[in-house]
Amino acid sequence: MTFSPPERNEQDWSWDLDQVVTELHQARRRWRAKHQRSAASGEREFPSRDALRAIVRDLCGVLFPMRLGPVELRQQDEDYYVGYTLNQALNALLRQLQLELGLVRPRNDAAGIAAQAREIAGRFAAALPGLRALIDTDIEAAYRGDPAARSVDEVLLCYPGIHAIILHRLAHQLYRLDAPLLARIVAEIAHTETGVDIHPGARIGSDFFIDHGTGVVIGETAVIGQRVRLYQAVTLGAKRFDHDDDGVLLKGNARHPIVEDDVVIYAGATILGRITIGQGSVIGGNVWLTRSVPPGSQITQANADTRSGVPA
């Protein structure tokens, strides 16, 4: 694809465009030299957020065609729509996978990159029925857990927490299939659209419900069990960041909480570090927690410094 610039009018000269364009060109060259980012072919090197946004939109329609698909769709045409749209989405995903793999594999291994991208796309496609079943449990958990919800359809169509978990389930699958950059882009699309920030590496069990959603943060190595409910502005974060002997930040270490089954965490709670919130516990609003609590704990601001030896 070639770009044909529009004709310049006389007013453009007042902006000194040539100077700005030249300086921006120099800035790009410095950046690419510093980070060794120069494609010999001059073609695009990196995946596209816009492309991933379109892929995600299509995948949501594939998973829930009569509710998240096109307005003109009718039930008798569902299978045709799902097949056609899924094929389009997977082919678009294949291109984005090739771009990501091209960043980590030798550029002269085009055949290997294409084969690995096709394998990942195929495994991703095969996982979609299971993801749909898992997302169904999230929708039902939201309906059961919110007295304001009038139907499961309202939950799917209206709740930002559900939109966030749908995109997380897709992103986490990409993360598991060794496409971490695409996964992170999908996660940031969800963050932008919902205000819910879930790293694609976080492992989240079935029947998960985020009520209201805005401001929720879940870190990369968090592990969340089944039937867990979070409210707005909850943070499952890291307490500290470890460094090696040279002061370089260590990445990938387990540094976020483990939340066991049937836990409820109310609005504004901050839970930090590789600690465990025991099964069936209730964590009150605005609690600051940096130590593990046993199963069945009820932690509030008032008792956080005395119950189960947990500091406020």
Contacts 24+ apart (CB under 8 A), 193-199: 193/160, 193/163, 193/167, 194/160, 194/161, 194/163, 194/164, 195/160, 196/160, 196/161, 196/164, 198/164, 198/165, 198/168, 198/171
In terms of domains, do 68 and 192 share one? yes
In terms of domains, do 165 and 225 share one? no
Give the three-class secondary structure for 152.
helix
Go through 35-55 and write b for each residue having 16 or more CB atoms within 10 A of its CB, e for each that does not: eeeeeeeeeeeebeeebbeeb
Percent of the chain at pLDDT > 90 equals 78
In terms of domains, do 85 and 177 share one? yes
Is the confidence at residue 310, as pLDDT, over 50?
no
β 209-210/229-230 pair status = parallel
Would residue 22 count as lying in a domain? Answer: no
- The full DSSP string for 70-121 is -TT--GGGHHHHHHHHHHHHHHHHHHHHHHHHHHHS-TT-HHHHHHHHHHHH
- Is residue 60 within 8 Å of 166, Cβ to Cβ? yes
Out of 40-54, 63-77, 89-103, 153-167, least confident range: 40-54
**Mean pLDDT, range 168-190, rounded to an integer:** 98
pLDDT band at 312 (very low <50, low <70, confident <90, very high): very low
Estimate to the nearest angstrom the gap between the alpha carbon of 112 and the chain centroid: 27
In terms of domains, do 255 and 114 share one? no
User: What does the pLDDT read at residue 36?
Assistant: 77
Would residue 67 count as lying in a domain? Answer: yes
**Mean pLDDT, range 123-127, rounded to an integer:** 98
Six token digits for residue 21: 């364009």
In terms of domains, do 190 and 47 share one? yes
In terms of domains, do 158 and 186 share one? yes
In terms of domains, do 61 and 173 share one? yes
What domain count does the chain have? 2
Would residue 103 count as lying in a domain? Answer: yes
**How much is the mean pLDDT over the chain?**
91
In terms of domains, do 219 and 187 share one? no
In terms of domains, do 161 and 258 share one? no
Would residue 11 count as lying in a domain? Answer: no
Six token digits for residue 97: 């996978």
- Is residue 164 within 8 Å of 194, Cβ to Cβ? yes
Whole-prediction pTM:
0.88
User: What does the pLDDT read at residue 105?
Assistant: 84
pLDDT band at 301 (very low <50, low <70, confident <90, very high): confident
- The full DSSP string for 163-200 is HHHHHHHHHHHHHHTT-HHHHHHHHHHHHHHHS-EE-T
Nearest to 63 by CA among 40, 86, 37: 86
Would residue 37 count as lying in a domain? Answer: no
Would residue 281 count as lying in a domain? Answer: yes
In terms of domains, do 123 and 236 share one? no
Nearest to 201 by CA among 227, 225, 173: 173
Tell me which H or E stretch contains 156: helix 152-158
Which of 167, 196, 225 delimits the end of a domain? Answer: 196
Q: Provide φ and ψ at 140, rounded to 5°.
A: -65, -35
In terms of domains, do 120 and 238 share one? no
**Mean pLDDT, range 273-301, rounded to an integer:** 97
User: What does the pLDDT read at residue 306?
Assistant: 46
Beta-carbon contacts of residue 190 (< 8 Å; ≥ 6 apart): 163, 164, 167, 168, 171, 196, 198
User: What does the pLDDT read at residue 251?
Assistant: 78
Q: How far apart are CA 149 and CA 141, in angstroms?
A: 11
Six token digits for residue 271: 């839970």
Which of 166, 196, 226 delimits the end of a domain? Answer: 196
User: What does the pLDDT read at residue 44?
Assistant: 75
Would residue 2 count as lying in a domain? Answer: no
pLDDT band at 13 (very low <50, low <70, confident <90, very high): low
CATH of the domain at 232: 2.160.10.10
Is the confidence at residue 227, as pLDDT, over 80?
yes
Q: What tens digit of pLDDT does each residue of 245-263 get?
A: 777 777 778 999 999 999 9
Is the confidence at residue 309, as pLDDT, over 50?
no
Q: How far apart are CA 134 and CA 207, in angstroms?
A: 8
Domain extent, residue 172, equals: 43-196
User: What does the pLDDT read at residue 12?
Assistant: 56
CATH of the domain at 103: 1.10.3130.10
- The radius of gyration computed from the CA coordinates of the chain, to the nearest angstrom, equals 23
Residue 57 zone, left/alpha/beta (φ > 0; ψ -120 to 50; rest): alpha
Beta-carbon contacts of residue 39 (< 8 Å; ≥ 6 apart): 45
User: What does the pLDDT read at residue 93?
Assistant: 98
- Give the CA distances from residue 105 to residues 63, 111, 113, 173, 181, in Å, rounded to whole numbers and listed in that order: 32, 11, 7, 21, 14
β-strand partners of 209:
229
Q: What tens digit of pLDDT does each residue of 46-72 get?
A: 999 999 999 999 999 999 999 999 999
Q: What tens digit of pLDDT does each residue of 21-37 get?
A: 999 999 999 988 898 77
Tell me which H or E stretch contains 144: helix 110-145
Is the confidence at residue 79, as pLDDT, over 70?
yes
In terms of domains, do 128 and 233 share one? no
Would residue 8 count as lying in a domain? Answer: no
